[in-house]
Structure 1
Amino acid sequence: MNFRIIPVTPFQQNTTLLWCERTAVAAIIDPGGEADRILEHVSALELQPHCILLTHGHLDHVGASVEIAARLSIPIWGPHQEDRFWLEALDEQCTMFGFPPIAPFEPDRWLQAGEQIPLGEASLEVLHCPGHTPGHLVFFSAADQLAQVGDVLFKGSIGRTDFPRGNHAQLLNSIHERLFPLGDDVRFIPGHGPMSTLGEERRHNPFVRP
């Protein structure tokens, strides 16, 4: 499986194109904004988009989802249903952060822990990792030892939990009980900033030490 990271919006949120190398079937993960720019990358790479996947319902991760889904005629899958309230409050989020208005929407399908998302000859496992938001998901390719973790974990830091229904203890539990057991060699793409490995963060991230 291959990937390309495209930072978008003033929040520099990492939209990720993730695709099967043999078939070019792709997922667009967290298209937070700048739809034209994201689609230019899709076209340049000659990808075949299969779906949009959302890790959670925050504006900077979902802002271009409906536009891209309509332009490519593909479905929006995720996040977990516990993040419904965030998608229903998109207009309020836009006002709060000074973004152009985006209408609330419901994905074509809410995702659950343990589901497998097929992408050509590859697949992604869905992990439910609440804490930053209650319905936050992570997408993991065991074959490639690669995860897109959204705003759960960052290089040297962890996700915020001061938003409505954030939970610091729950976030740490998600990291220790659901991410770290995947293995130290797993590379991860965070929602913002540079990539790292789970082993690097387990050993050196000051926010996740017991």
Structure 2
Amino acid sequence: MKIIVIPVTPYEQNCSLIICEATKKAAVVDPGGNIERILAMVKKHDVSVDKVLLTHGHLDHVGGTEAIAKQLDVPIIGPEKEDDFWLSQLEAQSQRFGFPLHTSFSPTTWLKEGEVVEVGNIKLKVLHIPGHTPGHIALLDEQSKQVIVGDILFNGGIGRSDFPRGDQFQLVSGIKNKLLTLDPDTLVYPGHGPTTTIGREKMSNPFLR
């Protein structure tokens, strides 16, 4: 699995382009904005996007979702259904965070713990890890040892839990039970900031000691 990180929005949110190099199929993960930038990267790598994937419902991760899904004529997959709590409030989120007005939407398909999403030959396992938002998911490719975690885990940090329906105990428990148990060499792609590894965060992340 090849992952191209595309920072978007004033929050420098890491949109990801997942590429199956064997089939040239691809998926866009968390298109928060700057749609032209994302589409230019799709064109540059000459891939066929067949779905948009969402890790959670915060505006900086989903702001461009409807626009890019419509332009590419692809379904919107994820997050877990509890994040309808956030997706149904996109208008209010727009006002709160100073974004252009975005209307609420529902994905084509919600995801559940343990489901598998296919991108070409890639099989992404869904890990439901609430705490930052109630329906937050991570997407794990066990074969290539890579995981896209949105705002669950960062290089040296964890996601905020002070938003409505956030829960720090739930978040830390989910990280320890579902992420830190992965192979230490697993590459971690956070929703903001640089990539890291499970081993590095297990050893040095001050929030997980």
The answer to whether the aligner puts 1:70 opposite 2:48 as a matched pair is no
| 1:93-121 Cα deviation digits (max 9, x unpaired) | 00001110010000000000111111111
Distance in 1 (CA, whole Å) between partners of 2:166 and 2:183 is 26
Unaligned runs of 5+ in 2: none
Identity %: 48
Match of 1:177 in 2: 177
Aligned 1:88-103 pairs, distance under 5 A: 88-103=88-103
SS at match of 2:147: strand
Distance in 1 (CA, whole Å) between partners of 2:206 and 2:153 is 12
Match of 2:166 in 1: 166
SS at match of 1:31: coil
> Which letter does structure 1 place at the counterpart of 2:91?
D
**Residue 54 of structure 1: CA displacement?**
0.3
Distance in 1 (CA, whole Å) between partners of 2:120 and 2:85 is 32
| 1:110-164 Cα deviation digits (max 9, x unpaired) | 0001111111112111110111011000000001000000000000000000000
Match of 1:117 in 2: 117
Distance in 2 (CA, whole Å) between partners of 1:87 and 1:119 is 24
Distance in 1 (CA, whole Å) between partners of 2:50 and 2:180 is 29
> Which letter does structure 2 place at the counterpart of 1:200?
R
> Which letter does structure 1 place at the counterpart of 2:21?
E
> Which letter does structure 2 place at the counterpart of 1:144?
S
Aligned 1:11-160 pairs, distance under 5 A: 11-160=11-160
- Runs of 4+ with >3 A deviation: none
SS at match of 1:171: helix
Distance in 2 (CA, whole Å) between partners of 1:67 and 1:136 is 22
> Which letter does structure 2 place at the counterpart of 1:193?
G
**Residue 90 of structure 1: CA displacement?**
0.2
Distance in 2 (CA, whole Å) between partners of 1:11 and 1:33 is 10
Distance in 1 (CA, whole Å) between partners of 2:120 and 2:4 is 17
> Which letter does structure 1 place at the counterpart of 2:125?
E
| RMSD, aligned CA | 0.6
SS at match of 2:82: helix
Match of 2:7 in 1: 7
**Residue 196 of structure 1: CA displacement?**
0.2
> Which letter does structure 1 place at the counterpart of 2:94?
C
**Residue 66 of structure 1: CA displacement?**
0.2
Distance in 2 (CA, whole Å) between partners of 1:179 and 1:198 is 7
Normalising by structure 1, we get a TM-score of 0.98
SS at match of 2:180: helix
Distance in 2 (CA, whole Å) between partners of 1:120 and 1:206 is 37
Distance in 1 (CA, whole Å) between partners of 2:134 and 2:146 is 23
Distance in 2 (CA, whole Å) between partners of 1:183 and 1:159 is 21
Distance in 2 (CA, whole Å) between partners of 1:159 and 1:121 is 30
Match of 2:190 in 1: 190
